[in-house]
Chains A and B, each alone.
Chain A
Amino acid sequence: MHEMGIAMQIIEIAVASIPSDLKNAQVKKVNIKVGKLSAVVPESLHFCFQIAIQDTPLGDAELNIEEIPLKIRCMDCNDEWIAHEPVFLCRKCNGKSVEMLSGRELDITSIELVDKDG
């Protein structure tokens, strides 16, 4: 539901990350990581990104989303697993103290540029 705001934040960070000596470069791709548990729908984010990117220095850059699985560790028995359902009980010992190792990401990782002058 808030994917447009997220898309605009991504664009803002990406634009600010273009090195000053590459202002004429064309951004081909914006790479981001989205955790399985984050409240972002990748399809909506793609859609909003395509709209929000118009008239920005990113031109027609592609948004590349790497989906990060929900990985959980039990603090009692140290078992680690990839959860396909949002269940935070240890699958081995039924322990209630678990930590999330991944799955909450909403990170921009890199931009890929082509130097038009180069």
Chain B
Amino acid sequence: MLEFMYKNQRYFHHEHFQKPHHSHNSARGSMGANSKDTREIKIVRKVLDVNDTIAHQNRELFREKGVYVINVMSSPGSGKTAILVETLSHIAEKIRCAVIVGDICTSNDADRLAGFGAPIVQVNTDAFGGDCHLAAHVIKTAVNSFNLDDIDLLIVENIGNLVCPAEFDVGENLRIVVLSVTEGEDKPLKYPLMFRVCDAALLNKIDLLPYLDYDKEAAVQNILKVNPQMPVFGISAKTQEGFDAWIEWLKQKIHG
């Protein structure tokens, strides 16, 4: 028990995030009065290990079925759906695609993505408590709607949010972040985890650059500060500018 007290004391001499003196004093007090009754049970588990386990199962299933999976993330309104519509129009003839599209409400995005022969599942997370991201178990359930043997590429359009989806592995091969030029140049520094965990960035709506006070180079540099090796594609889903390079890169990843 003495050993535990020392361990506990050492623990409380660590740098504290919140109210260090308060915690320190209360710990001392409780040890003085109840030391023989107080026990610390070591756990050491990732809080999200349930998600990670299911994501791993998803990844195994996708590998077994030969399905390449990309997870597309961004803030709301950056143009994910418009980009996917154009991307499908470039590749859906040769690559058998399927789409899982996440939104808190409505099936509007699924409606826009229809028409390329790719099966689409719309996931509305309000059934899951209005979740701000697609978790691995949601993807696991959603893929039951597909015959994975008939699919080469599964595109997951995540919920519009630059924070939470970055934390949740769904079993994908590739993560894409979309940033549009109507958002701030400093977004990568404000949401670094998203830009750190992704494999490529699409800088969308570049057709609007002549009308904006947007420093595109600064935005690219901020992306590269967070993720120095990240490919960045300037694109416009409206004019299709920049799509050739993006599609070529994506095809290489899928076939590579």
Contacts and interface: CB of A to CB of B under 8 A. Distances in A.
Contacts of A22: 39
A114 B37 contact: yes
A57 interface: no
Interface string A76-118: 0000000001111100000011101000101111111111001
Contacts of A18: 41
Interface residues on B, range: 35 or more
A5 interface: yes
B138 to A, nearest CB: 12
Contact of A37 (B30, B34, B196, B228): B196
B193 A107 contact: no
Given A18-B41, A39-B193, 11 more contacts: A6-B48, A13-B43, A31-B11, A42-B18, A85-B189, A87-B225, A89-B228, A107-B45, A108-B45, A110-B44, A114-B30
Contacts, number: 122
Contacts of A56: none
Interface of B: 8, 11, 14-18, 23, 30, 34, 36-48, 50, 129, 131-133, 161, 163-164, 166-167, 189, 192-194, 196, 225-229
Chain B at the A interface: SS class:
mixed
Nearest to A32: B47
A96 B228 contact: yes
A66 B45 contact: no
Given A19-B41, A37-B193, A9 B36 contact: no
Contacts of A110: 40-44
A98 B227 CA distance: 9
